[in-house]
Amino acid sequence: MDPAGQTRRSFVYRRLAEAGAVFGAVADVALAVHYGDPDAELETARRLGLADLSVLPRVGFKGAGAAKWLAAQGVSLPEVNGAAAQPDGALAARLGPDEVLLLGGLDGAAGLVGRLDEAWAEASTVEPRGYPVPRRETHAWFVVTGAQAADMFAKLCAVDLRPQSFANHRIAQTSVARANAIVIRADLAGTLAYHLLVDSATADYYLPVLLDAMSEFTGGLVGHQALQALLQ
Amino acid sequence: MKVMRCPLNGERNISEFTCLGEVSEPPAPDGASDEAWAAHLWNSNNTAGVVREWWCHVPTSYWFIAERNTVTDEILRTYAAAELFAKGNNE
Amino acid sequence: MTGASARGGANRIAGGSQVDYGKPLGFEFEGRRYEGLAGDSIASALAANGVWLLSRSFKYHRPRGVLTMAGHDGNTLVRVGNEPNVRADRHPISEGLAVKGQNYRGSLEKDRDAWLGRVSRFLPVGFYYRAFYKPKWAWQRLWEPWFRKSAGLGEADLAAAHGYFDKAFGHYDVAVIGGGPAGMSAAAFAAKAGANVVLIGESPVLGGALNYARFDVERAGAAKTRGELAADLEKSPNLTIMTYAACTGWFADNWLSVVRGERLHKIRAREVILATGAVGQPAQFRNNDLPGIMLGSAAQRLIRLYGVRPGRTAVVVTANDDGYGAALDLLDAGVTVAALVDLRPESGTAPCEDAVRERGLTVFNGYGVSEAVPVRGNRHVSGVRIAKIGERGAVGDGGQTIPCDLLCVCNGGMPAYQLALQAGGRLGYDDGRSVFSITGLGGHLHLAGAVNGALSLEAALADGRRAAWRAVQALGIGGVTEPVALADPTVQRMRPHPIATHPRGMDFVDFDEDLQVKDILNAVAEGYNEVELVKRFSTVGMGPSQGRHSALPTARLVARATGRTVGEVGVTTARPPVSGEKLGVLAGRGFEPERHTAMHHRHLEAGAQMMTAGLWWRPAFYGPRARRADAIREEIAAVRENVGMIDVSTLGGLDIRGPGAAEFMNRIYTFAYVKQQVGRARYVLMTNEAGAIIDDGIACRLSEDHYYVTATTGGVDRVYLMMLWWNAQWRLDVDITNVTAAYAAVNVAGPQSRALLAPLTEGIDLSGEAFPYMGVREGLLAGIPARIFRVGFVGELGFEVHVPTSMGEALWDAVTGAGTEFGLRPFGVEAQRVLRLEKGHIIVGQDTDAMTTPEEADMTWAIAKRKPFFVGKRSIEMRGRRLSKRKLVGFTLDADGPLPEESNLVLRRGEIVGFVTSVARSAALAKTIGLAYTARDASEPGAAIRIRLSSGGDVNGVVVAPHFYDPENKRQEM
């Protein structure tokens, strides 16, 4: 599957392709499914892996009434700067009292994210319900996995993200490698993992910076298959 | 590097923040004399002691108020701007 | 442990704890090959081979050698590969390592500039301030080049490849600085209590003085203590040990810079324990800088750490009990100790003293060193002249000379106070007892060990535990029993070496800067009677050792000369870094964020020359640099005559939503927005409270309570923050979101743009009737959800298409494909600048400055005067009553005349009345056109304007209305 043939393209698909990515369809988008050796990538993912999930569904809601409306839609909401897993595999990240970012599941299905998008557009209520934010476009989505993920972040980020100080499902909205970023710890079936959301225009800057920071730990890019394998 | 507590995000290095200066009460634009208006624009108190300042946590674009001692550079308290500004306030 | 070893140099003896006798390594110094052992520093390996001359001094090019063996002095700076100023007593050797000396002419051994020492009396302190300013030409052309060549340290290799440096952040409950006994004891205690601890030591192995100092006659105690401490540390799971790491600075809220190898660690600790120890002090007498004269601890380090015999015949001079331990170590190493000179009139009762006397050493009590005697060329010490210390505390004349090739100086220590003083501590000194104290440290900072005056081993260990306990208490860890305080059992009697001035000088106070006793005294005599002033005049303490050895003698000299105590005189302000930092370490991996649009790689593939706009990268023009002018001209022609496409994704985008959206827009921008129709775009102009223009763009009303507003590429982040700041005060019911990154956008402009785009759109009628100028439509373009605006920055029929960023490249591809038959050309920022200038559109920040009002820029049409309020309204009214003297105007020049540049001045009768903000040759108008500020009373069309060119000449033009091209806007509105 050629990502350049798609309407929706990852912000870094060229760099992934240069690194040997094999793209495949996950739901309706082209993802780097592996880089030639899924078994080795699983090991890398356990040690220190980086995957680009930018093309997968996500959405944000913010503004007056957003939290209340989402709760009414059945979204379980955590405290501010916390995240909560949803039954379909989505993750609700509370960025502010009335600001929530919803990351879809790794399977790429529209799921909760798609349902909320539609429900907001179709709502006829006059009650305030916040406003949707196109997070699939404003932010690139990377996931950094593995036991040494925190050591890698220590080279880029001044916030203490070590697992003993930064519990699962905690969020840091901070500066990573001198640009604004959202870091969400969300372990993948016991493997330490952080979602990293950055301004989509900086994705092209971040990818090589992250790979360089990972190199001393022999970390590297991993495909979607390796992430799925972590979950099993 | 100093540490500042953001009311939204907790303790962070102060490099994540930007300061806009003291919270001032502007004179009513229509009623004030030219002199009073110009003083509001161009003069600052340069207080030696505790001041109330506007600070912004840049990664979240979150504005809040900090009370800081300009002599010791000690940050005494930070809190949401809503504590000072009531909803629907007109200028 | 006597007896020469076969490998690793002729002076090698057994018993060095840090070297591997089984691993000889070959290395080069000054082109000659030597053999050392794995674990050696450059200096220890050279010493093992009898090479004592390591460097030439800064000013007089005097030979210098080992002084501290601790990396604390500037005597050992050498060049390793392309790296200058490497400390030879810290840098390990490796196989094939090539080391060179520095700061000499000819060779290190035979420096042709060594004569400078003999003329030192003509180079008094501060000489360069007053000797070389006449004649005027001479400084720049003669003296400065010569000084730069003959003074100074190593040379930077400008061709050296950039190394890989890095930074990392660290977070701990407790950071302990200092790997000696006090630091180890503190770290073990705090870790045992459950704190997360980092222990930072500057040596390759922990232990500090335990590794080389002699605490007892049998030498058993130190090894045992070290073993116990190491075992304790090993048992601590929550302890990080960083050896060979230098803490170079303390910053606010316990933020520490720690350099380890090529990585800078930025460590935040809730509690910091400073166990930085004490720094041994040299003594001042004539020729006190000769190779072969070193601190007693340096000789002990050579013997105990590296297994190097530091000389054959030694004299030890001591101010306290330390010299007795050093003397025993020298004897054990096979060195003949010719004399032990104890500055104190009577010795104490330290255990090592009895052992020294038992071994038959001659002890001179109440003596000092008056002079060291050099071998020819000052290359080594050959003897020491000692004399009785007189009534007034000075070393007397006469005395006797004792031949030796090694003089060990044990002159007491000074607390390594730098970090403590950086953190706000104050250094005190009891002149009578020669005892230092550091006070005034804030909470969360604790002193331990020698830096705190706890000098004996037992006291240092106990002090470490006490400091750790205080730190643990502050962390709120309960249930930890307070360790017993141990009073220092024997406050050592101490008599520092008198500063022995010599009529012929060479009695150095600062080895780095070649400053002698008389230089400091002369500085005081010149009126610089405070240490801070003495430092600035004489440069004392400014060298690589940062005053470690010069601060105390300087304070003593200033005190003596001004009739004060050392405590009153004090030391200069301590500032980071404590020790040298490489620029590469400070730079680290350069994080320079860039922002790329979705079409970035398409531009590169099309051969675009990129330029930056803030963090963004944008195409300046397409094609090779050599074709720049042609490329821009062709791109302009394509837009004017046919159709072009520019990537405008970098424009800021803001969603303003909510019931208060219209009111918010009305307050933020100068125009009126309440009655703006849904589906229409309107110009926006933003002023600050002072009434100056700060941004502009287009507001599209997408629904009753939703405006999508564009902002300038460079201004949007600031605009967004200011919008939030204002609404934090207004509290209107409105949500403001920066969606700049969410949309990719292109502007398709030119007479053929409609024909090109029409077949691609679904659900949008592009005809002039259905989609008028300043209209906004939403629909599909090439199957991509798009917002399309009919706006005209470049003055032709045009459509600005905004799509989701992830689909931006697909949009670019689709339009490029469809454009082939129309001869579509991509155009860059350069062409756009000319095109908009032909229309007279201003660029905020280029054609405006921090003062520009809408009135000056002829934009009062964009101000809704009847609105009760908008930001800047009051100031605009005030400034309207008192108009400025300038006005932004259009001007034209002959096309074949010279082309002014932006910022060229506008003159009238020799006075500056303005400056050029934009200028270009316009092919469409066959003229040079531009915008400039000029005098208000000469701003009417037809007035003359004179511009001073960068070359110095003037060019005359005429003021015109700035709407140069298609003033009726027929082309963009067709």
Task: Specify the CATH number for the domain of residue B70.
Answer: 3.30.2270.10
Characterize the bridge pairing of strands C313-318 and C406-410.
Answer: parallel
Find residue A180's DSSP bridge partners: A175
Residue A212: closest C-alpha in chain C: C589
Residue A180: closest C-alpha in chain C: C593
Question: A224 by DSSP, 3-state: which?
Answer: helix
Q: Do A159 and B15 touch (CB under 8 A)?
A: no
From the list C721, A231, C456, the residue with the least C-alpha distance to B54 is C721
A positions 137-196 inside 8 Å of B (CB): 158-159, 172-175, 180-181
> Per-residue pLDDT for B47 more than 60?
yes
**Chain A adjacent subunits, 3+ CB pairs under 8 A:** B, C
> Judging by beta carbons within 10 Å of its beta carbon (0-12, 13-18, 19+), is residue B44 exposed, middle or buried?
exposed
Q: Which residues of A touch C740 (CB under 8 A)?
A: 201
- Contacts of residue C392, defined as CB under 8 A and 6 or more positions apart, other chains included, come to none
User: Starting at the edge strand that comes first in sequence, how are the strands of the sheet with A131-133 ordered?
Assistant: A83-85, A91-96, A99-103, A58-62, A131-133
Q: Give me the number of domains chain B comprises.
A: 1
The CA distance from A12 to the nearest CA of chain B, in Å, is 23
Q: Do C657 and A63 touch (CB under 8 A)?
A: yes
Helix (H) or strand (E) holding C905: strand C905-908
Q: Which residues of C touch B72 (CB under 8 A)?
A: none
- In this predicted structure, what is the pLDDT of residue B89? 47
> Which CA distances in Å does A165 have to A168, A214, C171, C173?
10, 21, 10, 11
Residue C597 at interface with chain A, using a CB cutoff of 8 Å: yes
**Chain B adjacent subunits, 3+ CB pairs under 8 A:** A, C
Task: Kindly give the parts of chain C with pLDDT less than 50.
Answer: 1-4
From the list C476, C410, C425, the residue with the least C-alpha distance to C276 is C425
CA angle B7, B12, B17 (to 5 degrees): 80
Residue B15: closest C-alpha in chain A: A175
- State the fold for domain A58-133: Alpha-Beta Plaits (3.30.70)
* C654, C697 Cβ separation under 8 angstroms: no
Give percent of chain B with pLDDT exceeding 90. 78
Nearest-by-Cβ selection for C724 from B18, B37, B61: B61
The CA distance from A4 to the nearest CA of chain C, in Å, is 8
CA distance C597 to C614: 13
A positions 108-147 inside 8 Å of C (CB): 130-131, 133-134, 136-139
| Residue, of C121 and A19, whose pLDDT is higher | A19
CA distance B59 to C861: 37
Q: Do A178 and C592 touch (CB under 8 A)?
A: yes
CA angle A134, A139, A144 (to 5 degrees): 135
- Contacts of residue C524, defined as CB under 8 A and 6 or more positions apart, other chains included, come to C534, C557, C558, C561, C562
Residue A14 at interface with chain C, using a CB cutoff of 8 Å: yes
Residue A173: closest C-alpha in chain B: B59
Q: Which residues of B touch A199 (CB under 8 A)?
A: none
CA distance C114 to C312: 27
Cβ atoms < 10 Å from Cβ of C911: 9
Phi, psi at B24, each rounded to 5°: -120, 155
Q: Do C252 and B87 touch (CB under 8 A)?
A: no
Nearest-by-Cβ selection for C721 from B61, B81, B82: B61
Q: What is the CATH number of domain A3-55+137-231?
A: 3.30.1360.120
Q: Is the dihedral of CA C241, C244, C250, C255 positive or negative?
A: negative
The CA distance from B6 to the nearest CA of chain C, in Å, is 16
CA distance C357 to C931: 93
In a domain, B30, yes or no: no
The CA distance from A192 to the nearest CA of chain C, in Å, is 19
Find residue C695's DSSP bridge partners: C686
**Chain C adjacent subunits, 3+ CB pairs under 8 A:** A, B
Q: Do C251 and B1 touch (CB under 8 A)?
A: yes
Pull the structure tokens for residue A38: 């899924």
Residue bearing tokens 């082109």: C31
- State the fold for domain C282-411+492-500: FAD/NAD(P)-binding domain (3.50.50)
Residue A175 at interface with chain C, using a CB cutoff of 8 Å: no
CB pairs under 8 A between B and C: 58
- Picking from B63, B69, B87 by the largest number of C CB atoms within 10 A of its own CB, the best residue to mutate is B63
Cβ atoms < 10 Å from Cβ of C364: 19
- CA C241 centroid distance within chain: 26
Q: Which residues of A touch B58 (CB under 8 A)?
A: 175, 180
Residue A64 at interface with chain C, using a CB cutoff of 8 Å: yes
Nearest-by-Cβ selection for B1 from C255, C725, C875: C255
Q: What is the CATH number of domain C507-574?
A: 1.10.10.1100
- In this predicted structure, what is the pLDDT of residue C301? 98
Residue A31 at interface with chain B, using a CB cutoff of 8 Å: no
Domain with CATH 3.30.70.1520 in chain A: 58-133
Domain ranges of chain C: 1-158, 166-279+415-475, 282-411+492-500, 507-574, 652-741, 882-974
Q: How many residues does chain B have?
A: 91
Nearest-by-Cβ selection for A175 from B8, B10, B59: B59
Q: Does domain C652-741 have CATH number 3.30.70.1400?
A: yes
Q: Do C721 and B56 touch (CB under 8 A)?
A: yes
Nearest-by-Cβ selection for A81 from B9, B13, B58: B9
Q: What is the CATH number of domain C1-158?
A: 3.10.20.440
Q: Which residues of C touch A158 (CB under 8 A)?
A: 169, 266
Can you list the alpha helix ranges (DSSP code H) found in C505-627? Answer: 517-525, 531-538, 551-562, 566-569, 583-587, 600-605
Residue C126 at interface with chain A, using a CB cutoff of 8 Å: no
Can you list the alpha helix ranges (DSSP code H) found in C394-540? Answer: 418-422, 457-475, 517-525, 531-538
Residue C783 at interface with chain A, using a CB cutoff of 8 Å: yes
Residue A9 at interface with chain C, using a CB cutoff of 8 Å: yes
Cβ atoms < 10 Å from Cβ of B64: 23
Residue A15 at interface with chain C, using a CB cutoff of 8 Å: no
In a domain, B40, yes or no: no
HSE, CB side, 13 Å, CA atoms: give it for residue C897. 17
pLDDT (average), residues A136-146: 98
Q: Do C728 and B89 touch (CB under 8 A)?
A: no
B interface with C, Cβ–Cβ < 8 A, is 1-3, 13, 18, 20, 29-30, 32, 34, 37-38, 41, 54, 56, 61, 63, 73, 81-82, 85-91
The CA distance from B12 to the nearest CA of chain A, in Å, is 7
Residue B1: closest C-alpha in chain A: A158
Pull the structure tokens for residue B23: 């919270």
Domain C166-279+415-475, architecture per CATH: 3-Layer(bba) Sandwich (3.50)
Cβ atoms < 10 Å from Cβ of C624: 11
Domain that holds residue B56: 1-24+49-91
The CA distance from B64 to the nearest CA of chain A, in Å, is 14
The CA distance from B83 to the nearest CA of chain A, in Å, is 16
Helix (H) or strand (E) holding C663: helix C661-668
* Amino acid, single-letter form, for residue A3: P
Residue C171 at interface with chain B, using a CB cutoff of 8 Å: no
CA distance A176 to A153: 8
> Which CA distances in Å does C849 have to C614, C689, C711, C879?
17, 15, 17, 16
CA distance C832 to C764: 27
In a domain, B37, yes or no: no
Top-level class of domain C882-974? mainly beta
Nearest-by-Cβ selection for C730 from B3, B18, B89: B89
CA distance A192 to A163: 8
Q: Do B88 and C732 touch (CB under 8 A)?
A: yes
CA distance C501 to C391: 16
Q: Do B61 and C878 touch (CB under 8 A)?
A: no
- Contacts of residue C848, defined as CB under 8 A and 6 or more positions apart, other chains included, come to C692, C693, C842, C857, C888, C917
Question: A25 by DSSP, 3-state: which?
Answer: strand
